[in-house]
Each structure stands twice: as C-alpha cells, then as structure tokens.
Chain A
C-alpha cells in the first residue's frame, strides 16, 4: 500500500498542532502527526509549533533535526528500510544491502531520481531471530535472501 499524503495547508497544520498541544511534552506527538498527514514536517510548521507550545523556534528546530525519523521533504513513493544492525549483519545483511543499492542505483540514505524509491537504513526492527529483515512502506519482511530482496526492490520500483 502506497501511503497517500495530504498537501500542506496552513489551516490543516494548525488544526493538527492544536489537537495535540495540550499533551505533556507535545513536540514529538505533533511532529509525528504532521508527518503522518503530510509525509514530512513542513518548514512552515516549525514556527507554528513554537508559538503553540511557547517555545523558541530554535528549540523546535533542534528537536526536529535531532530525531532520525523526521523528514524535511517527502520521501519517495515507496520507502524501503533495510536493517543494518548486528543481528542482520551476522545473517548476511551487508551483502543484501549492497545488492539493493546496486539494483536501485543509489546508496542507502537516498531517493531514486524518478522519486519512486527511498532506501533507508534502520537500526533494528526487533526481527533479529528471522534476520536479515526489511520494511517496505510499513510491511515487514524477514528471512531475506537474494530472491526476496530482488522481489522487494521490484515491488518498490512499480
């Protein structure tokens, strides 16, 4: 399932911020909610969050940049995350990651030129007993081998 995101609108953003701003320590829940809706945390949202939570823009921007999850721009149509942690390394994950990079013509951390696929590292999906593992748009895949990584890459390219 390809995630479908809304286009950023200030009013919609303000609504989401208002919905979460009464929570204790609301910054992360707000950013998660924005990213779920728009596929990223738009730059325009930063001062809006700051004003809603009575924080400085620098503080909010600092939070935004600290966490690996939050994006400044939408990802490609499909996001393929490959686990790069030790359990998957031990099970041959490095070679499979290199294979995915070669097939897509990009290195991990990048999006293909046609904006179809974003390839990202992830440090542990908790599937260490069925390693190596990956996540394609939220769907988990374990016991990866060459055939399965090839199938995942083709699926992502569609």
Chain B
C-alpha cells in the first residue's frame, strides 16, 4: 500500500519537532517496507496539536496530534493495520475548533502544498485574478470598496479608498507594498500565511497592482521570520516562471513584479512611513503625514501600503464578489478577521471568524482559558501597543469601533492571555521600556517620554510618592498620545493607561507576588 501523509513545515510546527517527526515517519516507513509520500503543508493553526500529522483517505483527511517521534512507530503500525490510535483526532475538518471557523483568508492554509501552483489552482487559486482581468481597474477598486474591507494592520482604513487615491494619482511609476513586518507579540497570521499559502498574497498584490497601475511590489517582512522569507521567495520564483509575475501577467497587457525585502530587527519599521524609509535603504525613521504615501510614497511615488492580511483577503473578494465578503461581520467591520490566540492559553492558535464574537468567548470558550489552569486575569489585545482588558470587559465584541469605545484596539488581531500571577505594573513598565528600545527617535514624546515613563513606573513600584507619580504617568501618556508622530509613541499609552485603570491595585510598593507560572 502507499500512503500520503501531511506534516506541516510551518515554523510553529517546526519549533515543536515537525521536521524530526517527518524524518521518523520516513525511516519507519522504510523499515516496514511501505511506500510513503509526505507533503509538507502549512499549519491548520491548531498549535496545541502541533505537530499535527494528517493521513489522506477516501473519506477525507484524518488528523493525529500532537505527534512526537516516540509516537511514530505505533502511529504508523496503527495506520497500516487500520486500527485506532491514541492520538487520533478523527477527520480534520470535523475538529470542532476548526469547524467553528469561517475561513476565507486562510481557506487553503494547512490544506495545500504551499509551493504547488497546481494545488493552489485546484483549491480556487487565481480565480480572483482571472476575474479581475475581465474588469476595468475602476471596477476592481469598486469591488474592493463595496466589500467593506478595512486595513487589517490595525488602523482599519478602508482599503478601496486607499487604492482609489493611488489609482487617481498620475505618475510614471507606482508601487505596492505589503507590510508583512508583523512585530506584535501575540500575532503570527502573516507568518502562517506566507509559510502556508504564499500564492494568495502574490495573487492579492497582483490584483492591487493592476487596479492602481503599479508595476512593482515589495513584501517587507522581518528577519525574525527566516522560514516565511524562504517560502515567499520560492513562491515568487515559481509564479514568475509560470508567467504570473513579470511582463504580460497571465497573458494580459499588465506588468507586475514582486520582491521580498527583509528588515533588520527594528519594530518601528512596521509603521508604514518608517517601512518605506527602510525600503529606500535608510534608517527607519517615521515621516510626518501629509503627504500621504498614496501621493508621495516609496521613492516619492504613489504607493499602496497594505497589511498582508488585507491583500490576502482580495482574491476571495474578487472571486466570490464583494457581497459574499461583506455579508460577514458587524457594523462597519465587514468580513472575517484571523484572530490569534496566544500566551498563557490552553488552545492557542489562529481562529478566523466574522467580526462580532466577544472577547470572553474567544478567551474562555475557544481558547479554553489558561494552560496553567489558573484564572485569566488580563488579556492584551492588539500587540504591545494594545490595551490590557480585565474580565469585566469580556463582553466587548471583536469590532474596530467596539474596542475603540473601550479605549482599546484590535490591531492585527493578536490576543495574549495572562493568568493571575501577572504583575500589571511590570507589564506597564515593559510597554514603556519597549517603546524606549524601539523608538526611531524622531519625535520627543516617544523618544524621551518612554524613558521617563519607565523611570516613573519604577518609582511607583518602589513606593515613592505613588499618587503623584501615577498622576505624572497619566499626564505623560496624554502627551505621548497627542504629540507623537506615529503609533509607536502614540499607542504605548494604551497598555499603560489600561493597566492603571483596570489594575490600579498593582501600582504601589511591590508586594510578594503569587507563585509565578512555570
């Protein structure tokens, strides 16, 4: 008999032994003299089950996990004998955590071979571009506008309007930039998609290029993501060879080319103007806006800068139609959001769902609470610049406006869970310290405010004039919020002020803490 197995090559799976498991499967199959084909797919995003091994059968794919090298011999024997195994999870598609999701952007991630164009096409790939090529650029932009898609990077600006501005700006050269500088702790959606379904990003950016009249695109990502860089680079190469990038893409008269660029460990380069400076070969220092990148962007040319998740949503919108996308969601937050559950959480992973699910459902029900088994005390939503939410706010629906109304932000969709051993004044101090380390230095509130903020929180933690120093931190946060040039200095007050507001009891002379989680 010959069997076809899937073992993810996603960095999250590799970090818990996926390569070793694939190797062990090969050796065990050789010993048993059975033919075996191992496909290295992306991750399904069920990280507590990684490495998740799947077996292809006539009924569908069966999942086993988490598989260690020690489990491999018995697993293979069970498969050969068609017997049950202790790690069996049944049909992958029937796993409730996966079944509850609405996967539009991540529809293929974990299913296809990431570097197979045939596989991508067999699962609906390039249908969006095919339709876009039958439309005028204006009609493509209208479709994106009608879908209600808003920037998935955090600011939530309507994507269609951004594209329209670039399309209407006359220039000899225009650019499309994918901001894949996913530096927020608790987020890994960009990485997962680049490793698990890179062609969807290429297709989305290509559609954007022809809609706005750009001929060159850059994917700017992080040096911390070597596997994603490798996968993306290979996928671009494959697309070029297949005539899907370069001159006369897919037989049309459009030209569009793509290149991956790697950052160098500067968080601020996730801010779009700093990112462009970095792409131009300079220090990643924020530019004042206006002028908007849509008018004067990369190399002073009109530039679309969108988050990876925004581009990755485009193929579905063009293929399925704007309405199919807009039918999901609530209020002005349309479509789906790939939410990332992370930190001290039992079921950590990527959960794509329509906007509107409550924070409490995400953390307690879907996430299963903490893996330490202790009570959840705080969750940080939206990365290091996002607010800390207490249980009292767990009824907040996942929606741009609903989070803003409670002094928070959904950012790139990351949720980091903390149990009751967390020291919130320490977390507030970390937010200030992180800002101090990562500040580009251009504006004073961010550069100096963050250092003074960390010092003042230290004083509070030592018990020095606590009330006065808390007032000073609050005042400083106000200055940073209003006076900073970009979101780094402007949003650092979110974690600090939310910690002060909801966890005031942690700000004062340090008491012996609860036993720290191990």
> Which residues of A approach B to under 8 Å, CB–CB?
24-29, 31-32, 53, 59, 62-63, 66-70, 85-92, 94-95, 122-131, 133, 138, 140-143, 145-146
Contact = CB atoms under 8 A, between A and B. Distances in A.
B15 A92 contact: no
Contacts of A66: 266, 283-285, 440
11 contacts: A25-B282, A68-B265, A68-B266, A87-B186, A89-B343, A124-B185, A128-B186, A128-B416, A129-B350, A131-B348, A133-B15
A78 to B, nearest CB: 16
Given A124-B183, A129-B47, A70 B518 contact: no
Contact of A32 (B12, B185, B190, B264): B264
B226 A91 contact: no
B516 A86 contact: no
Contacts of B262: 28-29, 32
Among B343, B380, B417, B438, which residue has the most Cβ atoms of chain A within 10 A?
B343
Interface stretch (B77-85, B117-125, B273-281, B329-337): B273-281
Interface residues of B, number: 65
Given A24-B299, A69-B264, A86-B380, A128 B340 contact: yes
B266 A67 contact: yes
B281 A130 contact: no
Given A24-B279, A92-B517, A129-B47, 13 more contacts: A24-B299, A28-B278, A32-B262, A66-B284, A69-B223, A86-B186, A87-B185, A87-B414, A89-B430, A92-B344, A127-B188, A128-B188, A142-B12
B261 interface: yes
A69 B265 CA distance: 5
B508 to A, nearest CB: 21
Contact of A85 (B185, B261, B341, B417): B185
B225 interface: yes
Nearest to A125: B224
A136 B236 CA distance: 28
Contacts of A89: 343, 427, 430
Contacts of A142: 12, 15-16
Contacts of A28: 261-264, 278, 281
A35 to B, nearest CB: 9
Nearest to A91: B344
A67 B517 CA distance: 33
The 4 closest A-B pairs by CB, nearest first: A129-B348, A85-B185, A128-B342, A142-B15
Nearest to A26: B281
A117 B299 CA distance: 41
Interface string B394-428: 00000000000000000000101111001000010
Nearest to B46: A129
A99 to B, nearest CB: 10
Nearest to A66: B283
